[in-house]
Structure 1
């Protein structure tokens, strides 16, 4: 039905174009033809708008969730889609294919994923020509795709990336009478500035673009109060703060589930194997857990290493050399006789700088620290977070105004965190309450030393245990309640 409507729309647009061209030619011949061409064009435009805005009984229960990025690596937009579905909305989820989304999204009958291909510009000539042609081609592709879908009550779009999706979405919403919501995760121009510098012409153009077209949305969401104030004060954009909150899947992991996950990971990741023992042997053991063959009970092993986890997109706003230097210092502490455990450091994620850091990791020669960089399935990631002993976050916001979702999810698992300092981090991490904040590798190594001293006994007596108890006691709001309070009213408002 939507494809047929789109075909009619394209045919009407073509007819309008032909009429305008014919009218331009005929106006040079006769004033009467001028009036005829203007009248025909007006009629065709009216018919086109009627087709584009044609609504049915289900229109108000349809929402498009749009991210011009990898859907599987856009957890907040996946949560939006699931929340919409829970409230009975039919969701059209548009984005790049690639990483597998969470199974809850894939298996939801109300969510339809429509993949859009990431196009490339001309691969010859100056870099600017390639970038401009990419934007033009992506704009046309996105425009046609959105016009092919049924009329939606709202389009909820992630920014960044907002070029060209903000202007294309605004145009489609204007043509179809759809309300436009931007979810501001950060500013795209500040991310571009990491590579090009703040004074580069393309960065200045991107800043103007976001500021100018960002004002045309019906509603705005953002991730921190600091960003809400910045949008209002500098761009005159009014937004509602929707803090990232962990969904229910992020929770502490039982010992049995830990063991099941570790056994699976040990098949392909040597760091999870018992030293000198191959997986799949007669004894069911991992580096952290073991199953008693007499009663099949699972316990954490007494001499186990501590499990440190960090998650990353391997981008310029995360400097993992800080963690690697801190781990080098930690290795020195252990060799000097400090009462510290061996350490398994798991760094999960995909991104452009992963190969660079993998090469650095391969040059390190540690005896007491092991590092691995796996990519985890969406279902395994929360289980691993709930199994870890300590989290580390190296996210430095390019704008200073967004918060790392990885820390939100770690807190959902009651996992204490060491996080690098930036402007609004205090909205999430409370120093000496639910974690520690550091500024360099030296501070981080000292924090690892203090938190893991006498491990695993420190889980009960030390700061590590106190932080975890504080996280359990604080409870905290989950995504569903937060979304119902802040987003649902925007959808139901007249």
Structure 2
């Protein structure tokens, strides 16, 4: 990156303080020996409950007998397997409230400084680890803090690159904004200080080497073992549970049996569960409600789907479930409330961690709106859907082909009109076991894709060395 003139005084002060601290730590490190064999810190400066890949890392390490300090924000409850593991200890990081005093640049600099101290303090209070496994992004200031902690402990630093933080910042500020340029410089500089690097796609591995001179190993996201097709009994139990709070899951018409949802019913005499006649199709989209996912694309496609039915197309009614949390959820909920659909119902529940895989395994089709800010990462939500043998329609971006094979396990679309046509084509024969939707599901069943544990053991375990 070309020089942009003298640094603003806050950054110069920060650089000086950091240089002095690092000098002292380097002197200290000469007197310390690496230790903490068998202990690993898995860290993310984000919500642990919404960081599934880092939870998977922790579970894999625990499975191999490592003691894991899982560090991050505790906003959303992690998966119960994490909570039940005797080898995993949650290390909460208090989330900072937004400072609204002074210029935005001052607010940001102050936030970074406070987060740096807070994260470093937390990292230095855990038991000495042999390794710190850190998620990026967010990398500012977590990479520097983790590296300094690694110097203190004499432990290795592994960065798991999910994306680039500076490309995410550019969505809000623009590519040439000074903060974006500083963030890019920071990631390039501190990223090179890691001992090992993981990344989520082959495209990112190549880009890390070409543009950052960082050697990384690709660890593709893989579904955990609990992402699988949901048996009918469990589907029915889930639908009945959701029907207590969400109208779209309730039975459409009065029924002599109270044990009936919009999608399933239990036979009173045999006790067996059947799919309801004339049931709607269940469409699910998981979103983080951020700027890199244009949810209006799905809404416009649903408007076209409604129009197809009004024009006489023999299509099923739809229940569209959108899960997730994020800053734009209230905005899009406002748009949803203004829609006047007769054949489509939309709900936006927040599901318990254990219910989300069950819902994916019960759905008929998934929709992914994730657009990578860098064009180099892949949506984990699609990985989870494929684990449940759920076909997907996904919006196009550069390296999506590493995951979604068009016309094989799903479809790729570029705009709302193309998505609407795909929904019409896929649901035209619903719920018949003929047509594309069924063949996509059969292809996913036949693929027998590698699961997370197997992939992790092959790629990550060798980096950690033998446990002493």
- Deviation, structure 1 residue 45: 9.1
1:485 aligned residue: 458
1:51 & 1:113 partners in 2: Cα distance? 30
Partner of 2:185: 208
Question: Does structure 2 retain, via aligned residues, the 8 Å contact 1:242–1:482?
Answer: yes
> In 1, Cα distance between the equivalents of 2:86 and 2:275?
40
Partner in structure 1 of residue 6 of structure 2: none
Check if 1:471 corresponds to 2:444: yes
Partner of 2:44: 67
- What is the SS of the residue equivalent to 2:182? helix
Give 1:175 shift: 2.2
- TM-aligned CA deviation for residue 275 of structure 1: 2.4
* Distance in 2, Cα, partners of 1:451 & 1:443: 12
Conservation of the 8 A alpha-carbon contact between 2:321 and 2:348: yes
Instruction: Give the superposition deviation at 1:294.
Output: 1.0
Are 1:347 and 2:322 matched, yes or no? yes
1:81-92 matches, cutoff 5 A: 81-92=58-69
**Gap regions ≥5 residues in structure 2:** 1-19
Contact 1:53 1:151 in 2 (8 A): no
2:163 paired residue number: 186
| Equivalent residue for 1:195, pick from 150, 157, 172 | 172
Structure 2 residue corresponding to 1:289, chosen from 264, 284, 289: 264
1:344-394 CA-partner distances (Å, limit 9, x unpaired): 000000000000100000000000000000000000000000000000000
Distance 1:312 1:479 in 2: 22
Describe the superposition over 1:192-251 as per-residue Cα deviations: whole angstroms up to 9, x where unpaired: 000000010000000000011100000000000000000001110000000000011000
Pick one of 97, 100, 108 that aligns with 1:131.
108
Instruction: Quote the Cα distance in structure 2 between the aligned partners of 1:344 and 1:411.
Output: 20
Query: Is residue 2:287 matched to residue 1:312?
Result: yes
1:142 Cα deviation from its structure 2 partner: 1.1
SS of equivalent to 2:37: helix
Pair 1:314–1:172, CA change in 2 (3 A): same
After TM superposition, the score normalised by the length of structure 2 is 0.93
CA distance in 1, matches of 2:298, 2:327: 18
2:26/2:151 contact within 8 Å kept = no
The offset of 1:427, in angstroms, is 0.3
Find the counterpart in structure 1 of residue 373 from structure 2: 398
Q: Deviations over 1:393-448 (max 9, x none)?
A: 00000000000000000000000000000000000000000000000000000000
Structure 1 SS opposite 2:115: helix
Structure with larger Rg: 1
**Number of residue-to-residue matches in the alignment:** 447
Task: Determine if the alignment matches structure 1 residue 170 to structure 2 residue 147.
Answer: yes
> Deviations along 1:38-74, whole A, 9 cap, x unmatched?
xxx99x997x55886574xxx2100000000000000
In 2, Cα distance between equivalents of 1:262 and 1:456: 18
Deviation for aligned residue 1:493:
7.0
Within a 5 Å distance, the mapping from 1:326-345 to structure 2 comes to 326-345=301-320
Structure 2 counterpart SS, 1:290: strand
Change (3 A) 1:90 1:277: farther
Question: Is residue 262 of structure 1 aligned with residue 239 of structure 2?
Answer: yes
Residue 140 (structure 1) aligns with: 117
Q: Deviations over 1:282-305 (max 9, x none)?
A: 520000000111111110012100
Check whether the contact 2:120–2:149 (CA below 8 A) recurs between aligned residues. Answer: yes
Question: Cα offset for 1:122?
Answer: 3.8
Superposition CA RMSD, Å: 2.0
Q: Which has the higher contact order (CA 8 A, sep 6+)?
A: 2
Q: Taking structure 1 as reference, are residues 443 and 189 closer, same or farther at Cα in structure 2, changes over 3 Å only?
A: same
Within 5 Å, give how 1:236-275 maps onto structure 2: 236-275=213-252
For the residues of structure 1 that align with 2:110 and 2:414, how far apart are their CA atoms? 41
1:52 and 1:150 mapped to 2: Cα distance? Answer: 15
Cα distance between partner residues in 1 of 2:429 and 2:395 = 24
Match of 2:414 in 1: 439
Partner residue of 1:449?
Answer: 424
